[in-house]
Amino acid sequence: MNKNRVRFAPSPTGTMHIGNVRTSLLNYIFALKTHGTFILRIEDTDTQRNVDPQAQQIMHHLAWLGMSYQEGPIIGGPYAPYYQSERHDIYQKNLEILQATNSVYRCFCTQEELEIKRNRQIALKNPPRYDRTCTKLSAADIQKKLDAAVPFVWRMKVDETKTIQFQDLGCGTLTFDLKNFSDFALTRADGTFTFMFANCIDDIEMKITHILRGQDHQTNSVGQIAIMLAMGHPIPVFWHLPILFNVTGKKLSKRDQGFSLEDLKNEGFLPQAIVNYLGIIGASFEQEILSMEQLADAYNFDNMHTSNQIKYDIEKLRWVNHKWIARTALADLVQLCKPFLAKKYDISTMSDEKLSILIQSVQTDIIILEDITTLLGFYFTPPVVTPEQMNNAIVDLATQAKLQIIFNDLKNSITFEAFLNTAKQQAQAEQIAMKDFFSFVRLKITGSPKGLGIAELEKCLGFEEIKKRICS
């Protein structure tokens, strides 16, 4: 039995975004679920727009997300190279196969001529399709143009009498009449190959059995299947994934918060949370917090439900991230938080033990890692407690005043134990509730009436700093 083979084929013309990540994830989960092969292929033929040389950032992001590929750049594989820019000879060989079967023809029409034809068809309310002008050229006409070095492209000759059927995991059997499709270009005038051709030939050569990609590629799939059939290649199974939309119902774009993977990473979203959230949206699961392996186990690719769009909700992602941070081991969380703290504060002299005490006290309040700079801000900068904050914590103004007097009278205490215990005894003598006592102390030290125990705060900040904050 042949092994399932899937691929993630990004273009390094921009940064990885949530749509890319979800496509990669579903391919990866499919391979994991079916014990198949997950392949990374880089579509880097658009050299003028490439912003990620050798797709280093793409590979870094996949590794960070926990998606390891079995074939691809650096590690190689039986169908190398895995950069399209290095596969020109392979495309040329396959083009010559199509030339030999008269499945393609040269088109000498200029872009200006094509645009005029297109506008005329639209004006007549006809679908804009190439009118096959160049199929009417005689061999002598063609040779004359070649001798004059007139630029041309190779076009696929689409058989308008046929229909194409293929399986889609989300929609079942899809049928398309080729009479509704135009002869599409396989090459550019400079001799390079188009996405339609290169992408298709790579899938053929790399023996891809399942193609999981965005719904916006559905018409591309029809044209590429026409190429496959012309080359006698079996048709893969497809899944055209629903497009991601924001909460207002508009297609997700770079203007939307949480669109860029790098931005999410820099804000402190965990890779496990991103994978988890993108894996559960658009489907229904008994449990919502799932690891990569649990997602693969929960997916049923034989019974997929589809929709035209899936809502991407950054608030739900924040909720999932909060859950993952809460279950992260403290030692790991300390290491995750360090870079965020180091960006804002000098932590060079802080021990992991001290950081562990501080971070553990606020772990359940961390939604994204970036929050740690605010939650632990009190350690680095003494809080300024407003009357409103104090009134919210301790309603009785007289109690506030008594507590401040008690602590001010003890500012010359030598030890923390004497300072705190004496203050506690005097507060009890004044019939001050211990709830108000500890709220006052914490508020003065941290800016919040809740949080770390007083002993832990003294251990982290030191007695002199504690005394200075309470007695101010």
Residue ranges at the known binding site for ATP: 254
108: CB partners within 8 A, 6+ apart: 134, 137, 145, 150, 151, 152
Which of 238, 240, 278, 230 is closest to 258 using CA atoms? 278
Is the dihedral angle over the CA atoms 405, 410, 412, 416 positive or is it negative? negative
Give the pair of three-digit tokens for residue 415.
């030890």
Q: Determine the Cα–Cα distance for residues 375 and 446; give it in Å rounded to an integer.
A: 9
Known binding positions: 254
Three-state SS at 356: helix
DSSP codes, 145-197: HHHTT---EEEE---TT-EEEEEETTTEEEEEEGGGS---BSB-TTSPBPHHH
Q: What single-letter amino acid sits at 359?
A: I
The answer to whether the beta carbons of residues 467 and 419 sit under 8 Å apart is yes
Report residue 397: phi and psi, to 5°.
-65, -35
Q: Determine the Cα–Cα distance for residues 396 and 404; give it in Å rounded to an integer.
A: 13
153: CB partners within 8 A, 6+ apart: 106, 107, 185, 186, 187, 188, 189
Q: Determine the Cα–Cα distance for residues 363 and 367; give it in Å rounded to an integer.
A: 9
The answer to whether the beta carbons of residues 463 and 419 sit under 8 Å apart is yes
